[in-house]
């Protein structure tokens, strides 16, 4: 596919209401501002966030590695995109991945799963990098059995308290948390 097609998909993702569309431009800008060369995306669903990362990485010459339990979203083939179908906490999947400037977590949204992802993937973030989590403002994700609300936000709060890392929340579109891993 062409750069022109990627730009069209990006504009569509940015302008079409969804549970993440107000963060699409922010995500692409994070890549460009940090001159990110590698992003790991955990969870793709329909590919809206994937398009945001691919758009930013096209500008920096970087690459995206996406991991999801489900099949690859039908958003085209891109030379700077590797798709891994599997469980993001499977040691074989983790062992396949290389360090990244940005790790994006948008998977089950369950508290314990998110805590495990944060503790596992922090070690794949390059010094000075960030972890980005969607759905910090989602009170009750599907299938969550913990009665306490906002599991992703609670997982981030616990993780940052344990590690001394700082984070910032953007509340629109179910929330987007950005954790500064430091360096």
Could you report the per-residue pLDDT of 15-60, keeping only the tens digit for each? 999 999 999 999 999 999 999 999 999 999 999 999 999 999 999 9
Give the residue-averaged pLDDT of 95-124: 97
Pick the CATH number of 3-182 from 1.10.10.10, 3.40.50.720, 3.30.565.10, 3.40.50.150: 3.40.50.150
| Selected residue with higher pLDDT from 144 and 66 | 66
- Work out the percent of the chain whose per-residue pLDDT is above 70: 100
The domain limits of the chain are 3-182
In this prediction, residue 182 has a pLDDT band, given cuts at 50, 70 and 90, of: confident
Give the residue-averaged pLDDT of 59-72: 98
In this prediction, residue 144 has a pLDDT band, given cuts at 50, 70 and 90, of: confident
Question: CA-to-CA distance for 170 and 66, rounded, in angstroms?
Answer: 23
pLDDT for the residue numbered 145: 87
In this prediction, residue 90 has a pLDDT band, given cuts at 50, 70 and 90, of: very high
**End-to-end CA gap in the chain:** 36
Cβ neighbours of residue 25 under 8 Å, at least 6 residues apart?
14, 52
Q: Residue 102: beta bridge partners?
A: 39, 130
Q: Please provide the average confidence, as pLDDT, over all residues in the chain.
A: 96
Q: In this model, does residue 4 exceed pLDDT 80?
A: yes
Distances, alpha carbon 62 to alpha carbons 31, 57, 102, in Å: 9, 5, 11
Question: CA-to-CA distance for 54 and 39, rounded, in angstroms?
Answer: 9
Q: In this model, does residue 67 exceed pLDDT 80?
A: yes
pLDDT for the residue numbered 3: 83
Q: In this model, does residue 118 exceed pLDDT 80?
A: yes
pLDDT for the residue numbered 72: 97
CB atoms closer than 10 angstroms to residue 149:
13
Length of the chain: 183
Axis crossing angle, helix 48-60 with helix 24-34, rounded to the nearest 10: 30
pLDDT for the residue numbered 165: 97
Beta pairing class for 100-105 and 176-182: unpaired
SS3 for the chain, per residue?
A: CCHHHHHHHHHHHHHCCCCCHHHHHHHHHHHHHHCCCEEEEECCCCCHHHHHHHHHHHHHCCEEEEEECCCCCCCCCCCCEEEEECCCCCHHHHHHCCCEEEEEECCCCCHHHHHHHHHHHHHHEEEEEEEEEECCCCCCCCCCCCCCCCHHHHHHHHHHHHHCCEEEEECCCCCEEEEEEEC
In this prediction, residue 154 has a pLDDT band, given cuts at 50, 70 and 90, of: very high
């Amino acid at each position: 596919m062409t750069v022109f097609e990627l730009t069209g998909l990006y504009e569509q993702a940015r302008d079409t209401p969804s549970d993440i569309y107000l963060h699409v431009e922010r995500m692409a800008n994070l890549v460009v501002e940090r001159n990110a060369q590698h992003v790991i995306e955990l969870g793709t669903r329909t590919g809206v966030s994937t398009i945001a990362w691919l758009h930013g990485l096209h500008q920096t010459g970087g690459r995206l590695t996406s991991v999801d339990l489900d099949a690859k979203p039908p958003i085209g083939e891109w030379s700077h995109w590797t798709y891994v179908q599997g469980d993001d906490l499977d040691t074989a999947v983790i062992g396949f991945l290389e360090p990244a400037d940005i790790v994006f977590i948008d998977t089950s949204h369950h508290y314990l799963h998110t805590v495990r992802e944060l503790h596992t993937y922090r070690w794949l973030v390059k010094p000075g990098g960030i972890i980005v989590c969607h759905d910090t403002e989602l009170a009750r994700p599907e299938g969550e059995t913990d009665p306490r609300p906002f599991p992703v936000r609670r997982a981030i709060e616990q993780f940052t308290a344990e590690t001394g890392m700082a984070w910032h929340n953007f509340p629109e579109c179910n929330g987007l948390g950005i954790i500064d891993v430091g360096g």
